[in-house]
């Protein structure tokens, strides 16, 4: 049994036709038929019901199809783990952030002739998993102060450590089309009347932290989330061209403030989010990772 046999079988089932499967796989129909027949012979049972209208999986074929899809998905995941030469790359995972994207752009401008860049965005869980798996050397995250102990406990099972760099507060980001754009701050009690884009849904998400900070002044479940997305591009476009706003870290580094987006302070909100990076303490940080951390700390 090999991957090609499973691929041909899955595609044939999904397309319902050997000829369509052949066209999809850029091969001939006889080759698809021969490959699937060899798999059936190896397993000792028919996988497909063949008719003039096409093909469909047998009862046994349905079971094999389920496992074949799992195998192909796992194979694709393994293939995605292929990374450039560690010595010639910076491999980093972060939460979605325009500031961090600009930092990596600066890295390319200064070091692009020496190092390649591999960058992943995601939730705190995604980031820590990628560092644990060796996909990324470091992962930039933020964690509420009251959650740090829990976070450290989670990391201990993955043999990772969290290195805090700065404690920040949250703010409200609005664009020039928002009615609050000319304001400098906003009350907690005013948030329920606004329209929000909500980022990645995560235990460590911004909205999850807000309930603790606001001390019950506003129920975060009642915030009017009109868009859910983990795309920083969509968030920026919504802020620039609509009256939708977003909650985020109070983190607008001067040289990188190229958009007409304004950060409004939230009255009564104190710094409570620890921003830092996750690493494997048994691995020595590369020079390029140290450069990123040093520059990021200056930005903070």
Mean pLDDT of 152-178: 89
- In this prediction, residue 158 carries a pLDDT of 85
pLDDT exceeds cutoff 70 at 232? yes
Fold equal for 3-80 and 86-167+274-299: no
Of 122, 134, 106, 92, the closest CA to residue 204 belongs to 122
pTM for the model: 0.64
Read off the pLDDT of residues 117-143 as tens digits, 9 standing for 90 and up: 999 988 888 899 889 888 899 999 988
- In this prediction, residue 163 carries a pLDDT of 94
For the segment(s) 3-80, the CATH number from 1.20.1530.20, 3.30.420.40, 3.40.605.10, 1.10.10.10 is: 1.10.10.10
Torsion of CA 5, 11, 14, 19, to 10 degrees: -110
pLDDT above 70 coverage of the chain, percent:
87
Q: Which CATH superfamily hosts domain 86-167+274-299?
A: Periplasmic binding protein-like II (3.40.190.10)
E runs forming strands in the chain: 48-51, 54-57, 89-94, 116-121, 138-144, 161-168, 170-175, 185-186, 195-198, 224-228, 246-249, 261-266, 273-279
pLDDT exceeds cutoff 60 at 296? yes
Q: Which of 100-104, 208-212, 253-257, 276-280 has the lowest mean pLDDT?
A: 208-212
- Total length of the chain: 300
pLDDT band per the 50, 70, 90 thresholds, residue 203: very low
């Amino acid at each position: 049994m090999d991957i090609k046999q499973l691929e041909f079988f899955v595609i044939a089932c999904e397309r319902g036709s050997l000829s369509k499967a052949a066209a999809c796989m850029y091969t001939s129909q006889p080759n698809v038929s021969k490959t699937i027949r060899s798999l059936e012979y190896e397993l000792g049972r028919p996988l497909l019901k063949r008719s003039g209208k096409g093909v469909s999986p047998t009862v046994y074929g349905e079971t094999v199809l389920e496992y074949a899809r799992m195998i192909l998905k796992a194979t694709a995941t393994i293939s995605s783990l292929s990374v450039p030469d560690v010595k010639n790359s910076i491999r980093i995972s972060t939460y979605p952030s325009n500031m961090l994207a600009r930092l990596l752009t600066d890295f390319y401008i200064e070091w692009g002739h020496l190092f390649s860049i591999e960058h992943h965005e995601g939730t705190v869980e995604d980031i820590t998993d990628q560092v644990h798996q060796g996909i990324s050397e470091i992962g930039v995250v933020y964690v509420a102060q009251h959650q740090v102990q829990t976070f450290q406990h989670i990391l201990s099972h993955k043999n990772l450590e969290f290195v805090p760099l700065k404690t920040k507060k949250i703010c409200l980001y609005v664009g020039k089309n928002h009615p609050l754009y000319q304001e400098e701050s906003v009350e907690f009690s005013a948030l329920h009347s606004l329209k929000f884009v909500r980022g990645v849904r995560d235990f460590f998400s911004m909205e999850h932290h807000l309930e603790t900070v606001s001390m019950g002044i506003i129920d975060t479940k009642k915030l009017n989330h009109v868009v859910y997305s983990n795309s920083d591009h969509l968030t920026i476009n919504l802020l620039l061209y609509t009256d939708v706003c977003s909650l985020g870290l109070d983190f607008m580094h001067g040289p990188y403030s190229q958009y007409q987006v304004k950060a409004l302070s939230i009255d009564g909100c104190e710094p409570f989010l620890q921003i830092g990076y996750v690493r494997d303490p048994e691995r020595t940080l590369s020079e390029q990772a140290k450069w990123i951390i040093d520059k990021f700390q200056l930005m903070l």
